[in-house]
Amino acid sequence: MQTVPDRLRVLFLCTASSSRSQMAQGWAAQLRGDVMVSCAAGMESRPLDVHAVKVMAEVGVDLVGQRCRSFDEIDGEDFDLVVTFGDRGDVAAQRDAAAPFVARGARHVLAEIDCPARLVAQDRTEDEVLIHYRRVRNQLRSWIEALPLTLEGAAAAE
C-alpha cells in the first residue's frame, strides 16, 4: 500500500467473502478520505462482489477499480489499524487473521457485521439478495462514520 503522509493507514480484512471489506473501503474513501487511506483484503484475492458494487452505486459510491487483495499480497505491509469483519462467533478467526499486523504494531478492532453473501443462500430473486446487501451497506456506512470515535477506544477493544 502506498503511504500517504498524515493519513491513517487502515486495512479492512474480511474473514469470509470480502464484500464487507470492499464496501468499507468504498465508504472510507468517500467519507474519510481526508484522514485515511484504506485497503480491502480477504483470505484470498477476489474480484469485486457484483452485488456490493450495485448497492454502493445506488448511493453514489463507485467501487469499480477497487479490488480485494489476498493475505500474501499484503504480507509485510504496515497498517495503523486493522479492522476485521466477521459474523457472530467468528472472533477467533478475526483475531488470527489480524495477528501478523498486530505483531507489527497495528491496533485491531473487531467489527461484528453480517456477511451478506452468507445471508442470501435462501433467496431466489435479485431483489431478495439486494435487501441483505443494502442492510450491510448501511451498517458499514454508520460504522465508518463512527470510526474516529472507535479509534480512540481501539486499545480497549483489543
**Structural domains of the chain in order of their starting residue, each with its CATH number:** 8-157 (3.40.50.2300)
CA distances from 41 to 117, 125, 130, 131, 153 (A): 16, 28, 22, 24, 23
- Assigned C-alpha cell, 99: 495477528
- Residues with Cβ within 8 Å of 88's Cβ and at least 6 positions away in sequence, in order, are 112
**How does the average pLDDT of the chain come out, rounded?**
82
Distance CA 62, CA 57 (A): 6
Its pTM stands at 0.84
- 1-56: per-residue pLDDT in tens? 444 457 889 999 887 767 899 999 999 999 999 889 999 988 777 788 899 999 99
Residue 49's nearest CA partner among 2, 115, 106 is: 115
